[in-house]
Amino acid sequence: MKRVYMDNAATTALRRDVLDAMMPYLTDIYGNPSSLHYFGQEAHKAVENARHQVASALNAEDNEIVFTGCGTEADNMALKGIAEKYQSKGKHIITSSVEHHAILHTCEYLEKHGFEVTYLPVDEYGMVKAEQVRDAIRSDTILVSIMFANNEVGTIMPIKEIGAVCREKGVFFHTDAVQAVGHVAIDVKAMNIDLLSLSAHKLHGPKGVGALYIRKGIVVPPLLHGGAQERRKRAGTENVAGIVGLGKAIEIACSDIEGTSKRMCYLRDKLINGIEASIPEVKLNGHRTERLPGNVNFSIKYIEGESILLMLDINGIAASSGSACTSGSLDPSHVLLAMGMPHETAHGSLRLTLGDDTTEDDIDYVLEVLPEIVVKLRKMSPLYHG
Ligand SMILES: *Cc1c(COP(=O)(O)O)cnc(C)c1O
């Protein structure tokens, strides 16, 4: 059966050339980077080379990069670290209502520990405006954390403008850029970003490795205490092969970000236009142009997102829905709700996310299969009278 993977926002395939770069560190070069002998020093060199690759991709300095165990850890480290270190300046944090749970649940944790969090609302496209951030900053605000691009609807936030406001007001600015790094050009200096989280497995690298960029001069205490790894910012023996994979993946992804983005936007728009042309009563979620190159997200009226997913899966297409399945009960997407969508419709969205390996043939296959599925499901829907 033909199989089409369109869930690249959940995770991506490890590139073959990234695996090739990692392989020596899973086999012959197994030393601990902290060891002084040949095996250790070769591993150490590889970690430092990867640090340079990550820093270069962001226009940062090598010593501004800390490797972590995942994007979630980078988010936790940024928020908890800044809260702990700078709480004498104030205990107010600003974020958005459409963040990933790695941010939202960390904020809830901080609220339990005496911090106050403002969750900025978003417009119908899922966007936060820089002026909203400016209006929300108070004298006791220490941190603003706004995601670079949304993982459900793909909306890209006005990061440069938000960064400028934060710098002007003297408030630290963190961005969860897990969905954006390797897909959208990022320059931490030009964008006034103080802290940035990223994760390898969202850009065709391995799972279980991420990084936090911390601008020079900002102190972020460690989450993990122990050895002196990562300049005492993250104890624990380094995931050498994973770090090498992250470095290689980010280098490849950023070597031709414009070319890849152009190709992906073409495929994305073909899919969006094709769905709109062949299926009545659908609504594109997120912004039409300020959008990740690989993200397509639709609400398809009268049917449940989950039933479409099952039918797509039977036909070999891996997609996901905007709603998260929590302990058996189906919660509507907090992102779609924040965008003003009614509860009923927030259940029924379909997310198709493309990757480097997506072909035009894949798009054509989805456009062949999906409309038929929708017709079938609508015929069975008690809500549909079309
Ligand atoms: C995937 C994702 C994360 C979490 O990254 P992990 O490496 O899986 O922990 C955080 N934020 C966003 C926006 C994501 O898409």
Question: Residue 346 pLDDT more than 80?
Answer: no
Distance 334 CA to ligand 1 centre (A): 16
User: How confident is the model over 205-219, as pLDDT tens digits?
Assistant: 999 999 999 999 999
**Ligand 1 binding pocket includes 174 (Cβ within 6 Å):** no
User: How confident is the model over 182-235, as pLDDT tens digits?
Assistant: 999 999 999 999 999 999 999 999 999 999 999 999 999 999 999 999 999 999
User: How confident is the model over 93-102, as pLDDT tens digits?
Assistant: 999 999 999 9
**Ligand 1 binding pocket includes 295 (Cβ within 6 Å):** no
**Tell me, what's the pLDDT at 304?**
85
**pTM (two decimals):** 0.97
Report the pLDDT averaged over residues 64-86: 98
pLDDT tier at 328, thresholds 50, 70, 90: very low
Distance 319 CA to ligand 1 centre (A): 17
Report the pLDDT averaged over residues 12-29: 98
234: Cβ–Cβ under 8 A, 6 or more apart, which residues?
66, 67, 68, 77, 222, 223, 224
Q: Which of 14, 99, 156, 176 to mutate to test the pocket of ligand 1 (most atoms within 8 A of CB)?
A: 176
Distance 295 CA to ligand 1 centre (A): 15
Q: Whose CA is nearest to atom 12 of ligand 1?
A: 178
Report the pLDDT averaged over residues 298-317: 94
Q: Which of 68, 72, 75 to mutate to test the pocket of ligand 1 (most atoms within 8 A of CB)?
A: 72
How far does Cα 268 stand from its chain's mean position?
18
**Tell me, what's the pLDDT at 324?**
54
pLDDT tier at 121, thresholds 50, 70, 90: very high
Instruction: Give the three-class secondary structure for 172.
Output: strand
Query: Could you identify the atom of ligand 1 that is nearest to the CA of residue 202?
Result: 1
pLDDT tier at 330, thresholds 50, 70, 90: low
Question: Residue 150 pLDDT more than 80?
Answer: yes
Distance 14 CA to ligand 1 centre (A): 16
**Ligand 1 binding pocket includes 202 (Cβ within 6 Å):** yes
**Tell me, what's the pLDDT at 323?**
55
User: How confident is the model over 265-286, as pLDDT tens digits?
Assistant: 999 999 999 999 999 999 999 9
Q: Among 239, 267, 282, which residue's Cα sits nearest to residue 357?
A: 267
**Tell me, what's the pLDDT at 343?**
82
User: What's the CA gap between 149 and 291, in Å, rounded?
Assistant: 8
Q: What tokens appear for 224 in the block? A: 């993990």
Question: Residue 59 pLDDT more than 90?
Answer: yes
Distance 214 CA to ligand 1 centre (A): 18
Report the pLDDT averaged over residues 7-20: 98
pLDDT tier at 327, thresholds 50, 70, 90: very low
**Tell me, what's the pLDDT at 275?**
98
Active site members: 325
Q: What tokens appear for 115 in the block? A: 């911090």
> End-to-end distance of the chain based on CA atoms, in angstroms?
32
Report the pLDDT averaged over residues 304-325: 87
Q: What is the mean pLDDT of the chain?
A: 95
**Tell me, what's the pLDDT at 385?**
76
**Tell me, what's the pLDDT at 157?**
98
**Ligand 1 binding pocket includes 153 (Cβ within 6 Å):** no
Query: Could you identify the atom of ligand 1 that is nearest to the CA of residue 149?
Result: 13
Percent of the chain having pLDDT more than 70? 97
Burial class (CB in 10 A: 0-12, 13-18, 19+), 69: middle
Report the pLDDT averaged over residues 61-87: 98
Burial class (CB in 10 A: 0-12, 13-18, 19+), 259: exposed
**Ligand 1 binding pocket includes 176 (Cβ within 6 Å):** yes
